[in-house]
Amino acid sequence: MNQKQTVNFINKISGTKLIEHTDKFSSYDAFDDNYIVEIKNRRANHKDPFLEVNKTVINIKKSKEQNKDYLYIQADETGIYVFNVSKLNLDSIPKRFYNVPATTDFNNNERVNKEFWVLKKSYATIINL
């Protein structure tokens, strides 16, 4: 599933009216009147999804300024996991550093250490495919 397919699928099953962000460098991928949304389509099943700390802090701030909730959606071969980050107590969720590509799919091979919250799939609304 790609980002556009994920947006369309979420809109179809939940009644949201998400629109993909036109700026590929935006801190979030889609939005509607109620939500700003970051979407990760994973090629592999990650036992525990992870949420980038720096980007999340920015998106939480933006969501508050726009009076919206911030959703993180991870799609992988096991399903779609919708985390309402605005409702999570991030202080109680463990963090760790991962060495990851500096950017996603922008032809940059540089790797950097980034800090992530390690989420449990049980924190999400799970949509089975």
Summarised one tens digit per residue, pLDDT across range 50-85 is 899 999 999 999 999 999 999 999 998 889 999 999
The model's confidence at residue 38, banded by pLDDT at 50, 70 and 90, is: very high
Which residue in 112, 113, 78 sits closest to 95, CA to CA?
A: 113
pLDDT of residue 128: 82
Distance CA 97, CA 95 (A): 7
Which residue in 93, 99, 16, 112 sits closest to 39, CA to CA?
A: 16
pLDDT digits (tens, 9 = 90+) for 42-51: 877 767 888 9
8 Å CB contact between 85 and 56? yes
Mean per-residue pLDDT for 89-114? Answer: 86
pLDDT of residue 46: 66
Structural domains for the chain: 3-127 (3.40.1350.10)
pLDDT of residue 8: 96
Residue-wise burial string across 50-89, b where 16 or more C-beta atoms lie within 10 A, e elsewhere: bbbeeebeebbebbeeeebbbbbbbbbeeebbbbebeebe
Q: What length is written for the chain?
A: 129
Distance CA 88, CA 106 (A): 30
Checking if the pLDDT of 104 tops 80, the result is no
